[in-house]
Amino acid sequence: MAEFKSFCEQLSKIELHAHLTGSIRRGCLHEIWLDRKEKDPAFELQDPLEVIPADGVTDIMAFFPLFSKYIYHLCNDVATVGRSTTSVLHDFHNDGVVYLELRTTPRHNAATGLTKTAYVETVLRTIAEFPGAMKTNLILSVDRRDSLETATETVDLAIRYRNAGVVGVDLCGDPTKGEPHVFRTIFARAKSAGLGLTLHFAEIAATSSDAELETLLSFGPDRIGHVIHVSDHIKRRIATMDPKPTLELCISCNVQVGLDPRVQEHRDHHFGEWWREGTNPIVVCTDDVGIFSTSCSNEYLLVATHFGLSEQQLWELAFGAVNSIFADDVTKTRLCEIFLSWRENNM
């Protein structure tokens, strides 16, 4: 176990399903909270160390309100957005991630003067100024609860900043809300503009009917995330699509909050089934390292421990993610060089 842990920590890795806000560590949020309390003793939010469990959130009912009612109110201006983004970048870089695609829903706050444009520009500027060798790009997320007008605004921003570090669009948010079919046209426009498309897919049973999942697949996604509650019919569709979508599989979060009642332990996670069948590319992802108290290295350790992957297979899994990134061919070539050099020097 110790050898695998060290291997996973040192392994060069690619992270493609990381929500910016959910990846902010408790410690960073605590420091921001302390600053806010010092400037305004009447600031009413609780200490993040009291609100976010040290071992990670385990209650799905507490998950989405944690963002809308807490973190968004703590990081709600240019300074705190920039500070928290820098912290997230350092955490992934220090964990051996060599390429990162962060995703976030553009936010605004009238009280602080934060506009959606300023939010996106702040995140992109922070990424550009990050001193580490890790390459980072941005995905802008449409929330399922958004109106078509709001979603269109997000896609407009993604297209506007297409040459400044935005590489894709995402559909995310509370899976019990919204009607995804209303976003078909704007996602088609995003793809036509050269942006990648990734969708949160079959997260909970209540909104994983074949009809809804067929609608999502009709968007032509390049990648789909979670992929938990799929019927045999949908599974066959995913496996036979051309081109085949990459599966962004998140181990810790799915198990911790019990998104699938059939999964009682990590070894029950559907990663094993998809990995054994080998029909679609798989990328191991974290979802929200801050909320679930995990890391990219830990997710690789989990698949090694519970699904019997060897060091060679772990390297192949990490290396295979290169083909699924939304970046240009120059970046892909550079990443291939990094992975091949790492294998030569470490295996």
In which band, very low, low, confident or very high, does the pLDDT at 91 lie, cut at 50, 70 and 90? very high
Q: CA torsion sign, 77 to 72 to 164 to 13?
A: positive
Beta-carbon contacts of 195 under 8 Å, excluding residues fewer than 6 positions away, are 158, 159, 162, 166, 167, 168, 169, 326
In which band, very low, low, confident or very high, does the pLDDT at 213 lie, cut at 50, 70 and 90? very high
Computed over every residue of the chain, the mean pLDDT equals 95
Higher pLDDT, 260 or 196: 196
CB 254 within 8 A of CB 263: yes
- The secondary structure element, H or E, covering residue 171 is strand 166-172
**pLDDT tens-digit profile of 114-129?**
999 999 999 999 999 9
**pLDDT tens-digit profile of 37-70?**
999 999 999 999 999 999 988 877 778 888 888 9
User: pTM score, two decimals?
Assistant: 0.97
Q: Please give the average per-residue pLDDT across 156-173, as a whole number.
A: 97
Q: What is the pLDDT of residue 233?
A: 97
Residue 334 has pLDDT above 80, yes or no: yes
Of residues 15, 101, 153, 203, which has the active-site annotation? 203
Q: What is the pLDDT of residue 274?
A: 97
Q: What is the pLDDT of residue 313?
A: 97
**pLDDT tens-digit profile of 4-16?**
899 999 999 999 9
Q: What is the pLDDT of residue 60?
A: 73
Q: What is the pLDDT of residue 63?
A: 80
Amino acid at 278: G
**pLDDT tens-digit profile of 15-24?**
999 999 999 9
Burial of 206: CB neighbours in 10 Å, binned 0-12, 13-18, 19+ = exposed
Q: Which two tokens stand for residue 132?
A: 């580490």
Q: Which two tokens stand for residue 169?
A: 């669009």
Backbone angles phi, psi at 15, to 5 degrees: -120, 120
Domains of the chain plus CATH, in order, are 2-346 (3.20.20.140)
44 is known as an active-site residue: no
Q: What is the pLDDT of residue 117?
A: 98
Q: Please give the average per-residue pLDDT across 289-293, as a whole number.
A: 95
Placement of tokens 């600053």 in the chain: 35
**pLDDT tens-digit profile of 248-275?**
999 999 998 888 888 888 999 999 999 9
CB 187 within 8 A of CB 197: yes
- Report how far residue 122's alpha carbon sits from residue 128's, in angstroms, rounded to the nearest whole number: 10
Q: What is the pLDDT of residue 1?
A: 66
Q: Please give the average per-residue pLDDT across 150-173, as a whole number.
A: 97
User: Percentage of residues in the chain with pLDDT exceeding 90?
Assistant: 88
Higher pLDDT, 1 or 25: 25
Q: Please give the average per-residue pLDDT across 197-218, as a whole number.
A: 94
